[in-house]
A and B are shown apart, each in its own frame.
Chain A
Amino acid sequence: MSRSQGPSALKRKRLDSQSGSLTEHESKLYDAIRSKTDMGMSLQDLRRETGLQNNLFTKAIKTLQAKQLIKEVKNFENKTRKHYMATEFEPSKEITGGAWYDNGQFDTEFIKVVKRELVKVIYDQENATLAEISQAIRMKNFLTVNLSDQELKQILDALVLDNEVLKVVSTGMGGYKAGKECYKCCKRREPNLASMASIPCGVCPRINQCTPDGIISPTTCEYFKKWLEF
């Protein structure tokens, strides 16, 4: 899952010298793409905007790509659609889907790792503010990607929804200013009631069709049979 580049790190190459040798069509196309900076443009939009003939258009795209003035990027919203961008830009979040998408693909593994690390950090510090967590993550240097505070917060919020982390507002007692938002690990709870979730009917996809004397019924139920196998 390792990601070598931060999506937000802009590689700025000076390419102006090369653009001098472009044909009129190529220039038109290049300017159109470049004007959209890190958003780039889809093939369809480009075609519409430049109004170039099909064969000219295709040729110009090819040339620009060969000269490394533009590149094809993946748009996470629609991976099959061709999307172009000037080489000097890195695709924006709107195009890549942000840190959580890799090449248009939702990066579950990466998120898992980040989550695990964040929980570790919070666990070690008991209580931590976003700034402290961000600092600790940077110090640990385990990510090849630089996550912004906003992205870290997104993960933290997900951890809250996962019931792994609790967001609390400081009472001013633990050394924090009162009213400051902190994160702390959820107490490892004794297994809650989960009474429905622990019986077959509680998680049964067919409970709506299940009747006492019907084809699907508790007396003939296979889920029950499995559950009661000792």
Chain B
Amino acid sequence: MLVTITRPGLVRLGLCKLPPFISRVSLTEASNQKKKKKKMTVTNSGIQYAVQIITKHFGNLVAKVCETLLKSGPLNLGALIRSTALTPQQVKNSLLILVQHNCVQPFTQESKAGLKVQYMAVYDNILHRLRFAKFLAVVAQELDDDCKQLLAGLLEHGRLTQQQLMDRANQKSKSNSSQVQNAAQDNFIRLVTARFVERCPAPEPLLEEAPEQEGPKKPRSKSAKMAQVSETIEQRVLAAARPMEAIRFLITTNPETDDPSQKSENNSSSMSVGEKRKFDDLDIGEHGSNDKEVILWRANFEQFIRCLRHKACVENVRARHDDGAAVVLRAVLKATRMQETKVKTDYSVPLKMGAIYNEVIDSAAGRNLTKVSVKASLHLLCGAPPVRGGYEGEGEDEDEDEDEDVPYSIDLKKIIELLQNDEVESIVLKRYGQDACRIFRLLTSQSKPAGQFFETDKISVDALVDKKETPKILYKLWKDDYVHMEKLSLTTAKQSQVMVWKVHKSIVWEHVLDEMYHAAYNLVKRYDHEREENKEVTNTPKEKRVGELEKKANRFLGVRKIMALSLVKLDDALMLFHDF
């Protein structure tokens, strides 16, 4: 009996079917607590990093307000003033800035005292602030430099009316010809049509009563549940505030004519000042100085993230397969971009061969591809249940007279997963060495998302690692939260405990993300420090930098370059794990 228990094969079955004589040993307190902490979607390091961004962009007061909202979830004005210990005016001004820059979304909630406005920090939008250069590059590539200029204004100011945008374009071109005006108008339409620009969300949408099992409403602070609850609140608020699809990208040529948005109060992306005054906590519509309808526009971050996600997928396919497959994937994603309903979609929208081929030969890179090669690439991309380390072409479904009408859908989630794996593996490799990386890959190659338990000896054999070293490596990985361990006690055995290990991907991935936030924060912090240290150099005019100063200046140049580049790359990884 004993022998069969300790043989690796059995443990591989996983713990669900443990024979009765094996009992699980409960985990230590410490690791239980760790687990709980990880359930939070936005970790402390994440908040720290977001606050750092806001501090740099808007100063300490605004950051204080933002931090309070991030930490405690949605608050009303009174509570916010109390928690921050700032003056009402300071808090109001800070909120104005945060709302203007889409970092806070107010919403209305019904309480005994009537309607109450609450303020909620929008974490993702805060982080997007460091991605503006990437967003602008997307527009420059997809549209052109003029559109990029127009967008730059919007990013700089957060929210603008169409007129303000036009005025800005005029100022920039320094001539006020109607030609410039028309071109700006056209570019604006192009931005909206491509969905890079959208109408702003409703200023203070009413949040409907929570669906049943959201739990007791009152204690919305401090408990561990908070983060999860507020996550759902965040989603609900954003959904309530989002303009209906029909008007989200609708440009009314004459803003004074009646607007469809007015018909649905909650989804209104525009606001009349009178209406707004009803919740007179804040005076948000600073651009609306008269009582006419004011439609505010802003950058549609969702669309930018979608584009960047697509780009990451395409580049990954290029690296793993070839240019042909990359061109085909890009064509598919471009053709279906408007139909995607959410950013983190698992599969590309199904598209038929004919449509794909047309799109492919329409692109510069795909002009010379033949139908046969496009089809081959598609098979490579959608072939079969992908395996680790690449795609697996599946044998069976090789249909000779394949119909043109079969729609193809590509597993984007898998592509993203492979990228994420690469990133985590590179960390494990660098920190713990090649043997550890092989073990880690073995443990993550299991199809079950929660991983599968492996016994120590089995790991040693499968990953071809020295039997004596294996437990040591596993212990190191476990100590740093990269693998999960359980002790099985065998009640009939003299050797009474067996250790089994697995990687619970979602837990480890969140842990990695948390460390990334931490690393990003540190990178920025260190950069500020370096800049401070080199003030003397940078304040000296170029021609006067000689000798020691010149050396220092050159070093600082190098520092700036490598740090900026690292932050851009690290932010790519943050998106990979948080947004994609």
Contacts and interface: CB of A to CB of B under 8 A. Distances in A.
B522 A201 contact: yes
B59 interface: no
Nearest to B529: A219
B24 interface: no
A199 B530 contact: no
A212 B518 CA distance: 10
20 contacts: A108-B466, A154-B464, A162-B434, A166-B390, A169-B392, A171-B383, A179-B395, A186-B390, A192-B423, A193-B426, A196-B516, A198-B566, A199-B570, A201-B519, A218-B521, A218-B522, A219-B525, A221-B526, A228-B559, A228-B563
A195 to B, nearest CB: 4
Interface string A209-230: 0101000011101001000101
A30 B572 CA distance: 68
B519 A161 contact: no
Interface in B563-578: 563, 566, 569-570, 572-573, 576
Nearest to B445: A161
A146 interface: no
B395 A170 contact: yes
A172 B469 CA distance: 41
A197 interface: yes
Given A161-B438, A167-B389, A178-B398, A196 B466 contact: no
B423 A207 contact: no
Question: Which of B384, B423, B519, B521 has the largest number of chain A CB atoms within 10 A?
Answer: B519
A195 B319 contact: no
Contacts of A52: none
A173 B48 CA distance: 53
B523 A199 contact: yes
A158 interface: yes
For chain A, what secondary structure do more than half of its interface residues adopt (helix, strand, loop), or is it mixed? loop
B426 A196 contact: yes
A14 interface: no
Contacts of B398: 171-172, 178
B277 interface: no
Interface residues of B, number: 63
Given A167-B387, A172-B398, A196 B573 contact: yes
A6 interface: no
Contacts of A170: 393, 395
Given A198-B566, A199-B523, A207 B430 contact: no
Given A171-B394, A228-B562, 14 more contacts: A161-B464, A166-B390, A170-B395, A172-B398, A192-B419, A192-B423, A194-B430, A195-B423, A196-B426, A196-B516, A199-B519, A212-B48, A212-B521, A230-B559
A11 B265 CA distance: 91
A154 B526 contact: no
Given A171-B398, A190-B319, A193-B576, A201 B523 contact: yes
A193 B426 CA distance: 9
Interface residues of A, number: 52
B186 interface: no
Contacts of B515: 196, 201-202, 207
Question: Which of A97, A162, A202 has the largest number of chain B CB atoms within 10 A?
Answer: A202
Contact of A197 (B320, B430, B462): B430
B438 A158 contact: yes
Contact of B423 (A158, A167, A172, A196): A196
Interface string B541-580: 0000000000000110011001100100110110010000
Contacts of B466: 106, 108
Contacts of B384: 169
Given A106-B468, A169-B392, A218 B426 contact: no
Contacts of B461: 154
A218 B563 CA distance: 13
A15 interface: no
A224 B519 CA distance: 11
A216 to B, nearest CB: 10
Contact of A187 (B321, B392, B431): B321
A159 B284 CA distance: 60
A187 B389 CA distance: 11
A228 B565 CA distance: 13
Given A77-B467, A172-B395, A228-B562, A189 B519 contact: no
Q: Sort A-B residue pairs by CB-CB distance and give the 6 closest, nearest first.
A: A178-B395, A106-B466, A201-B519, A171-B393, A195-B569, A218-B522
Contact of A203 (B422, B430, B563, B570): B430
A196 B427 contact: yes
B168 to A, nearest CB: 35
Contacts of B422: 192-194
